[in-house]
Structure 1
Amino acid sequence: MGFNLLTEPWLPVVRLDGGRQEIGLAQALSDAASYRRLVGATPTMTAALHRLLLALAHRVYRPLDAARWAELWQAQAGGGLPQAELAKYQDEHASRFELFHPHTPFFQCPALDNEPGSTAKLVAHRATGSNRTLFDHTTAVQRPLLQPAEAARWLVTTQAYDTSGTKQPYRTERSAEGGLGNRFGCVLVEGATLHETLLLNMQLYHPEAELPPRTTAQDRPVWEAAEPPDPEPDARPPLGWTDLLTWPSRRILLSTTNTADTTLVDGVVLTPGTRMEGNLVDLEAMAAFRRPWLKGNKQGDFKPVTLDELRGVWRHSQELLLSSDPRWWNTWRGRLRAKGPLPAQEPQRQRPAALDHIAELVEDGLIAEDTVYTLRVFGQQLGDQGGDTYAWYEEAIPAPVALLRAESARVGYLIGYAVSLANDLGEQLKLMERQYSADFHRQLTKEQEKKLTDLEIWYWPRLAAPFAAFLRELGEAIRHGTCETEPAERWGTTVLELADKAAWQWLEGAPRRNRSLLTASAHFDDFQRARHQLHRIFRGGLARYSTPIEEDA
């Protein structure tokens, strides 16, 4: 019995009325305007399924230029994405979407001849091998049966987010790096419908003209390859954008069992696949990058923005939202050479490619400047050895179009000061708690140093909502030409109040007497002095950029 991913229901979506259902890939494109979101069982699944659907959309509709993209964008009002191109593509490639095809099974390697293992290897929340989980107790001999739709979703997710470490070898090679998605926070611009979301994240796609950059004429998603992959692992650079979106980091083959009315997946072979060669910053368009500051006012290599267990991704708003224009970096370097107070750190950065495109669409009248989109950022953190999943993440921050179009480096400095104030106050709260503990205990071990403090757990989650309000207000100030420092001042007041509340709760929340009370009070006083100094620096920074500054050439 077949299961064709173009037509069979397997993609989990939310309708505009809030109801949920599963649909095939073809329906996800043809009726995209009828759905609000695509939502998987985990953040990693949501990201992986979006990347798969985007690869298909690029190949079906091929937005070669801005006019074609505009036509696809406006198709939402006329009944949805064009049917003729979809039908033509479906006729040409339908067999390559068969999950259980005997010769070309979707996203799999039929030449694998290993003994299938448990399907727990495929499902991230299942316990298998060294991938221990807290609540699942699947043993190595158990083989949970998966419905085809569930197996297909986990197949796509595993290719993007599988853990690293030792895998079942096809012949000899056992070691495999983690799936590509583990290396960065995957950024998705979300619109009001799935139609808008797809178009907002689609790049101009013309492989023969090397669009997007570093896309070759040979680019194709994994299902369009002339032959299924060789079972031996290999390494190569991506052929282009859709190749990267469907990167085969593993060689996988599902095994099945037939019942009276359906086919179920009862096992899986999972071995090392293709290692990506090349610099991620030159290839990955759904990520933000920054060059971290090193000693001596030098910057390191570009690093992708990833998600943190506690500190929100909003701390990377400069990299996620603001222009990558090198003129802003020149302004920063020029001020490093100057005498006097330095501005907030302004990193060299690269935002997701979709945001550069959105910033241009206002000029064409396709997007209103008062629009506020949502950036959803998905990620996975592996354990210390990389062989198990520590946490999944999904965070959201507002993306005001006016902020995406900001042309002044002053905006970057204001956001930099806002983030720095939160970071520095958080560090002082942590220092207060750690130094108090150190006065009564031996030096902390490395494991104890890594452990989150109670103040960190209380402080950081409370900052996401007020920072989102700050971004929205800053976008409005830019759009209306009003004072841009006022939203930053309101943010500063809020974060200082939260830090004060955290410090007072720490001081008064535990019964102390004698030496412990005196010691706690002394560290609280140290925090207050540091807090006032940080506030002074913040106010000085805002004053410096309260009026337009002369930009460096």
Structure 2
Amino acid sequence: MDQITTKYDLRTEPWIPVERIDGTQATVSIRNALCEAHRIRRISGEIPGENIALLRLLLALVYCIYEIPEHMGEEEKRRIWRELWEGGAFPADRIDGYLVDFPHEFDLFDDEHPFYQVPHLVYMGGKKECDPVSECMIDVPKPEKFLFSMRSAEHLDALPFDLAARYLVVAQALDKAGIKTPVEGNTSAKSGKAYAPKGALGTGWCGALGGVYLEGKSLFETLVLNWVLFLSNVSVTASDDFAPWEREVPSPDTCQREPTGPIDLLTWQSRRIRLVPDESGAFVRGVIISYGDVLVPANKQRFEMMTGWRESKQQQKKLGTATVPLMPAALDTARALWRNLPSLLAVAEEERLRPGVIRWMGEVQDVQHADDWRFKLRIVCQGVKYGTQSSVVDDAMTDTVDLRATLMRKDSEALTNMLELIRQTDIAVGAFVKFAQNIERTQGDRRRYETFSDAAAQATKDDMRERAYDALDALYRRRIADFPDRDVAAYCEAWRAEARGILRKLAQAYVSRRHISYFAERDEVSAGRALMWFERDLAQALA
């Protein structure tokens, strides 16, 4: 089959993996993902970062379909949002009325406007036709490092169109940085190599984010919960904000520019890409990929809703700005999400700003009765961790926390109490680590465990901390999910008591495994005395 006639229309072809409300798995088109969103539980991708990348694409479509004017008043925006939420489903005629206007732009292989790509893209100098298709797969390492991959090296020479489409969306959102091969039309290439501009983000835009979004009982609820229209009297929507399929095809050149609005950032084209199908027109056999739209991540908080923000004096020096810029506050992929809740949900943080999707829950609840918001929703964090100058993907993280929507109100005293208890937990875990240090001192290695400056001692310290958090994990997820609006003091005291009991058992087991005397002293420390100190510190931490 001639490559020119190869077609794959993402509006109607099934390519988005989902889990339905009844628990069954399916693959759906863009149209069905939106029209049947109330029957779909969630997107269920397997590629690192796939869920958030696909969710952002569908969310951009919601913004496009409803086209909320920037100058519209806040009450009118609240009304539109509330009517859609209470309606429980996206109107199919509205979705079809929008998608019909783009008969070519959602085709993977359209000759003039291929989806998320640049047509006729070729590598500079004609040295190679294309790269292996694995070059756009963020979970596949370079061939010389494939020994350490969790993916089989077989069947990487071709991808079916549905999987290629998903990798395309993920690559635009999360592709790693590093040296790229320049394409014809790239004016910034040096010595046959393409780089991100100095000071700009080298990875895909989502790679800089904390990757936080809210999940409801269905994909419909998830999309509407994250459909932010204004924050703190500032409109989120913008009149000149368009998606890639609504714009002219970009040039092959790297372009450093500012985003025009939330749609632009949700679909940010960080790469210039062209998928190369095989001669049969049945698979994608190669890819051409280089740098596309790049940006400096500072001060994008008006339009980017899926990350927290923090002041960075270091970036102020680098950028030479008069004020301290706000930078995306990516979460630590090594920590459970519930441990990050104080930085995500705390209202009164002078140098930090909560993610827009969380602040939006406060905005829409302000004019409604609290009883309407006592349902549970889920905070989801999904992202990747890069290594070696962001040129490789070291780790991928997906974590969730269930909690009541009322805890996201700006005036929630219950939230203040819950976050304070989580902060106290950090102190209590620190007391457990100190206890372990004292026990090791009774074994005679004073030099190592007095300062924990030795690498092996630091490893012991880190292991004890993670052991404590692992033991507390199930308790804290359950307690956060069931946190009440009333009788908060009694609930927190019962929670603290359970946490003290878990840490106390850990301490007792730690001593028992070493078969040491409770009374034998070394350097004025004994196991019994270490336990006594631990009980004191534990009581103070979780008082």
TM-score, scaled relative to structure 1: 0.79
> Could you tell me how far 1:538 is from its partner in structure 2?
4.2
Letter in 2 for 1:87: D
State whether structure 2 residue 517 is matched by structure 1 residue 503: no
- Name the residue aligned to 1:359: 362
> Could you tell me how far 1:125 is from its partner in structure 2?
2.4
State whether structure 2 residue 250 is matched by structure 1 residue 229: yes
Q: Is the 8 A contact 1:507 1:521 kept in 2?
A: no
1:125 to 119, 126, 139: 139
Matches within 5 A, 1:289-368: 289-290=309-310, 302=326, 304-322=328-346, 324=347, 329=348, 348-362=351-365, 363-364=367-368, 368=372
Letter in 2 for 1:257: D
- Mark the CA change 1:448 to 1:536 in structure 2 (over 3 Å): closer, same or farther: closer
Matches within 5 A, 1:243-262: 243-259=264-280, 262=281
CA RMSD of aligned residues (A): 3.6
Q: How many residues align?
A: 497
Q: Is the 8 A contact 1:210 1:217 kept in 2?
A: no
Distance 1:431 1:182 in 2: 36
State whether structure 2 residue 52 is matched by structure 1 residue 47: yes
> Could you tell me how far 1:40 is from its partner in structure 2?
0.9
- Name the residue aligned to 2:418: 415
Letter in 2 for 1:281: Q
2:7 to 2, 7, 11: 2
1:468 to 457, 466, 477: 477
State whether structure 2 residue 169 is matched by structure 1 residue 156: yes
- Mark the CA change 1:224 to 1:527 in structure 2 (over 3 Å): closer, same or farther: farther
Distance 2:392 2:456 in 1: 19
State whether structure 2 residue 104 is matched by structure 1 residue 95: yes
Q: Is the 8 A contact 2:118 2:274 kept in 1?
A: yes
2:158 to 145, 161, 164: 145
Letter in 1 for 2:428: L
- Mark the CA change 1:497 to 1:193 in structure 2 (over 3 Å): closer, same or farther: same
- Name the residue aligned to 1:174: 194
- Mark the CA change 1:468 to 1:385 in structure 2 (over 3 Å): closer, same or farther: same
State whether structure 2 residue 478 is matched by structure 1 residue 458: no
Distance 1:233 1:445 in 2: 47
- Mark the CA change 1:219 to 1:372 in structure 2 (over 3 Å): closer, same or farther: same
Letter in 1 for 2:209: F
- Mark the CA change 1:20 to 1:537 in structure 2 (over 3 Å): closer, same or farther: closer
2:262 to 241, 251, 264: 241
- Name the residue aligned to 1:192: 217
- Mark the CA change 1:179 to 1:197 in structure 2 (over 3 Å): closer, same or farther: same
TM-score, scaled relative to structure 2: 0.81
> Could you tell me how far 1:266 is from its partner in structure 2?
0.6
Q: Is the 8 A contact 2:299 2:326 kept in 1?
A: no
Identity %: 24
Q: Is the 8 A contact 1:190 1:376 kept in 2?
A: yes
Distance 1:430 1:526 in 2: 11
Deviations 1:413-461 (A, max 9, x none): 4234312222123334345556738637597566984787332332213
- Mark the CA change 1:191 to 1:320 in structure 2 (over 3 Å): closer, same or farther: same
- Name the residue aligned to 1:285: 305
> Could you tell me how far 1:63 is from its partner in structure 2?
4.6
- Name the residue aligned to 1:439: 446
> Could you tell me how far 1:99 is from its partner in structure 2?
0.5
- Name the residue aligned to 2:73: none
- Name the residue aligned to 1:75: 87
Letter in 2 for 1:14: E
Q: Equivalent residue of 1:96, what SS?
A: coil
- Mark the CA change 1:201 to 1:416 in structure 2 (over 3 Å): closer, same or farther: closer
2:490 to 486, 502, 510: 486
Q: Is the 8 A contact 2:164 2:284 kept in 1?
A: yes
- Name the residue aligned to 1:545: none
Deviations 1:153-186 (A, max 9, x none): 0111111111222233334353341222222221
Distance 1:447 1:102 in 2: 59
